[in-house]
Chain A
């Protein structure tokens, strides 16, 4: 109980939506309740009907009403059930739309424009799954439990009309089914299911690890070690699951025991209360049969409750996500063209990490200048780009455009910067739509011109669907080099004065790389370019080369000067060119 309370104490994901769509929710619950009430009423009415008929009344009029009612309830139950299922799905899907938007917005404020790692991708999948979990929370836990409780109240009140002591006894017996057993389920089974999920997710990770490293396993020939790694988690899961199943089966039997007791209570009570006259005795069968259709929702309550811990984790995760919004400084607008970009004595370390990533780094880039940044991975190249874009703020020092701090220009960011990174994202739509994302107001002619500029016109026009060709998921219709060119076309349309190239050629072969770089520097010749690269192919395109080493600039100068004056640079250059010694 306490854990449930704490889960919802700062909740912005479940409760607000219950409120937002409350009338639809009330309708769902009403329809659910009516479904089971109709089912019970059908048996109640039928019991009365045949008892009355067995008295062989003189006229059919005596059983006319029950006959009509039998048909009415017979139709009402499926109709209510049908409407309930449609309404509840509609309700849940509506909420899911809201969830998607909310999750998107929450992630959006935190996303940076540079280097989305593989792991962030995994976290995003987990979050997307969480939304599905919350969807199930409603359908499998909340609705059955609430409908079950409403039904419980109804039965107690219904019997209470006749006899309060019997109603009290029934209340106690049914409370075991609708309250005690679900609580036991949460406590016993819930903990187990949670544990099982945990082992399963570890197992998932370790199995992925095995499959990804399969080549090494095969070569190593360690078949027995390979199999042994899975034995332990599999056995653990199997043991837990076995307990889980046994618990469920016995719990099902337990529910039936208490259910039997309620049926017997009603039978004995009606035997006492309704046997004084013949016409009263007709109600005995009605009361004895009425409960049978209601056992189904009561069985669902405990099951729904034991799934709670899984949902709890999801709710906590999404809540944690949306509860801390970053502060945004007051935004300004740059009205004059970009003249200089200045990095002034910037020192940077990530919050909560005392490692210094950048140490007193300074850099001044003039309009139209092209600069290449090199250095081993982990020396702060990506961090420097994040600072330039304003995704991170310098611990000390400043990054400015025309003297205005970059963090104050975030609203204008897309007008200032174009970015081409290692794996630019192509959305699952047509070539035309993808390119137009660079500038939503661009005409078809402008889009085609951009495609022509990046030398893709012949290829695209040779495709059967031309510019309307679907790029498919992650742009898989096209090769790596072609994807980069498509993204370049998008950047051309975006027409920002500063272009950031973040290792755009790292996964390409040297021939493709060289041709792409020639195109890039050709079409972007008027722009200011900051290019992070991992080797020296195409280095002659830039005005300035900077080597970043352990968070500080090391070698720097024009490519030609470096080649003449720095033996280290010359050695690297020759290595890259594959010169024969």
Chain B
């Protein structure tokens, strides 16, 4: 129910002590309130005048208000701590995200990551707010009340003491039984609601197949089946709350009956009896409150677990091994027998990769899909860490990985679909150079061939683009990425991963013309299966099943029969039209 790591949060202990003190005062208030009300009622029962009960009634009213004011005080005391803790946690999570980079997102999924940072942290907040106060409440209030009742009448106190673990026991037994079923049910529910969304998304296909009208009945039927199944589980799941409810309510009734008989036998007077009766529901209140919030706490606990797990993922270390670095005509990058194995994979995705590149060169990386082209680009970009350190070197310096800040300051990565931020076109273009002047941004756009398109936009460079805003075609997105590269002249390493594969041939041809000047005087790694790019490359790496099977200049490779020529034949095999 409670995560041990909870107590490692800084500043939690003094708060807990404060809550405990408040809780103790509150329990005393509950007792005073019950006692005072009973005194007043007994006075009236004795047919005393209304004036005689003014004092006890006033005490009742004051203690009642104190009791509830203390609840507010507890929340007020604890909230700043919770707010600060979750605030810090969110910040640490985002920092972690930035440090770990895209690889963690790939593992957890974009949606999950965003949900964790938003709703996950909110759930943790609710959890922290609930769990400490509720547990302290369960740990203090009933026992103070019980001790007082024991002073009044030990028999009822013993009954209440014995029934307590019975309630807990039943809750646990039924809770466990229902929980495993409920968990499965919850999975079923998630599947159903995902399925529903998927059905909606697959509507186009259903329409193509002429089934979309008929399918409405199916949607209803699936939902109804689920309802019947859920109800059978709910019946069990709710039995645990029923058991709790049953025992607590019946216990109050039993206490009342006991007291009735004791009163008749003269073993107790009305005042203590009435006090006990008034206190009995308060004795059970904390455990009932806890059960009511059980699900919120369970969700919160899981969310906390998930967040803490991400926070505990080790970060890539030694990101500043490379002190100062600029890629120029004399610089060199060397891979010497580099391998990479993904965490859960048995076989390495890349194995024994060796190459050596100097100065400004254009390096094409080709291979069939699944040959490891993208993985190699990601390794060069520093988004992945090789299996062993010191097999990669820059300017002769051996490095553990390429996730070097100085190396990344030199590089630009252009994937198949460059990501466009939800921002103005200008902000998008100047993403790597946020302080670039308008003039330089315009020049970069001009070089990237964006000027004509910008003229058609309502607000020119200030037009909002990206998700939910103005649609940008694939070709224009690539041009924006090019403009980013043109703008940032200091970044001399360009990493391309299939930049034109999904573009139509005309757009691709036009884009290529604007792209070629960018490739000069830079180090370029260009992964593609569009073979025409090879004509512009100085050097080619041929990948096959994670291995570098051939390398050389295009002319060298074309000169003899080998993996390169075979791949070209297979990929470029357009049936001749002439």
Contact = CB atoms under 8 A, between A and B. Distances in A.
B193 interface: yes
A427 B202 contact: yes
Interface in A109-156: 111-116, 119, 121, 124-125, 127-128, 132
A338 B91 CA distance: 64
A559 interface: yes
A234 B574 contact: no
Contacts of A227: 91, 94-95, 98
Interface in A220-265: 220-223, 225-227, 230, 234, 238, 242, 245-246, 249-250, 252-253, 256-257, 260, 264
Given A63-B260, A257-B65, A511-B570, A249 B72 contact: yes
Interface stretch (B138-146, B161-169, B223-231, B444-452): B223-231
B18 interface: no
Interface residues of A, number: 166
A413 to B, nearest CB: 6
A268 interface: yes
A212 B47 CA distance: 76
Nearest to A535: B505
A563 B577 contact: yes
B434 interface: yes
Contact of B44 (A132, A209, A284, A573): A284
B57 interface: yes
B440 interface: no
B357 interface: no
Given A86-B234, A89-B234, A113-B204, A534 B44 contact: no
Interface string A26-62: 0000000000000100110111011111101100100
B45 interface: yes
Interface stretch (B293-301, B337-345, B525-533): B525-533
A17 interface: no
10 contacts: A43-B281, A54-B269, A78-B246, A86-B231, A125-B197, A204-B114, A205-B422, A377-B474, A507-B502, A537-B574
A540 B110 contact: no
Interface in B230-270: 230-231, 234-235, 238-239, 241-242, 245-246, 249-250, 252-254, 256-257, 259-261, 263-264, 266, 269-270
Contact of A223 (B87, B98, B197, B421): B98
B552 interface: no
B45 A46 contact: no
Interface stretch (B173-181, B323-331, B406-414, B540-548): B406-414
B208 A264 contact: no
A268 B250 CA distance: 29
Interface stretch (B6-14, B19-27, B272-280, B514-522): B272-280
Contacts of B503: 534
Interface stretch (A90-98, A167-175, A310-318): A90-98
A485 interface: no
Given A67-B257, A225-B434, A437-B211, A535 B405 contact: no
B114 A427 contact: no
A71 B506 contact: no
A187 B254 CA distance: 44
Q: Interface residues of B toward A: which range?
A: 35 or more
Given A252-B71, A421-B204, A575-B505, A234 B90 contact: yes
B213 interface: yes
A344 interface: no
Given A49-B256, A376-B506, 8 more contacts: A63-B260, A71-B250, A75-B246, A108-B203, A211-B114, A272-B50, A428-B195, A473-B194
Contacts of A43: 252, 281
Given A204-B114, A377-B507, A507-B502, A128 B200 contact: yes
A260 B532 CA distance: 84
B72 A253 contact: yes
A536 B506 CA distance: 10
Contacts, number: 428
A203 interface: yes
A425 B90 contact: no
B293 to A, nearest CB: 13
A206 interface: yes
Interface in A545-581: 547, 559-560, 563-564, 571-581
B210 A90 contact: no
Interface in B383-431: 383, 405, 408-409, 411-413, 415, 419, 421-422, 431
Contact of B270 (A50, A73, A274, A578): A50
Given A116-B203, A267-B57, A506-B502, A514 B573 contact: yes
Nearest to A532: B504
A195 to B, nearest CB: 16
Contacts of A114: 204
A374 B504 contact: yes
A100 B505 contact: no
A97 B98 contact: no
B94 A226 contact: yes
B207 interface: yes
A284 B48 CA distance: 12
A25 interface: no
Contacts of B118: 200, 203-204, 207
B76 interface: yes
Contacts of A111: 203-204, 207, 212
B87 A217 contact: no
B224 A97 contact: yes
- Candidate in B220, B256, B509 with the most chain A CB atoms within 10 angstroms: B256
The dominant DSSP class at the A interface is: helix
A368 interface: no
Interface pairs A-B: 7 shortest CB-CB: A414-B210, A578-B531, A74-B253, A46-B256, A425-B202, A54-B270, A425-B205
B553 interface: no
Contacts of A538: 574-575
Contacts of A127: 200
A46 B250 CA distance: 12
A452 interface: no
B132 interface: no
B473 to A, nearest CB: 5
Contacts of B238: 82, 85-86
Interface in A461-508: 473-474, 490, 494, 506-508
A196 to B, nearest CB: 10
Contacts of B57: 264, 267-268
Given A77-B245, A93-B227, A101-B223, A575 B508 contact: yes
Contact of B434 (A222, A417, A571): A222
A581 B535 contact: yes
A158 interface: no
Contact of A579 (B224, B278, B532): B532
Contacts of A577: 531-532, 572, 574
B504 A288 contact: no
B252 A124 contact: no
A519 to B, nearest CB: 15
B204 A116 contact: yes
Interface in A157-211: 200, 203-209, 211
Interface string B22-48: 000000000000000100110011111
A350 interface: no
A21 interface: no
Contact of B419 (A98, A212, A514): A212
B219 A104 contact: yes
Contacts of A108: 203, 207, 212-213, 215-216
Given A209-B466, A474-B198, A507-B502, A54 B422 contact: no
A101 B215 CA distance: 9
A326 B48 CA distance: 78
Contacts of B182: none
Contacts of B270: 50-51, 54
A572 B72 contact: no
Interface stretch (A7-15, A275-283, A327-335): A275-283
A197 to B, nearest CB: 12
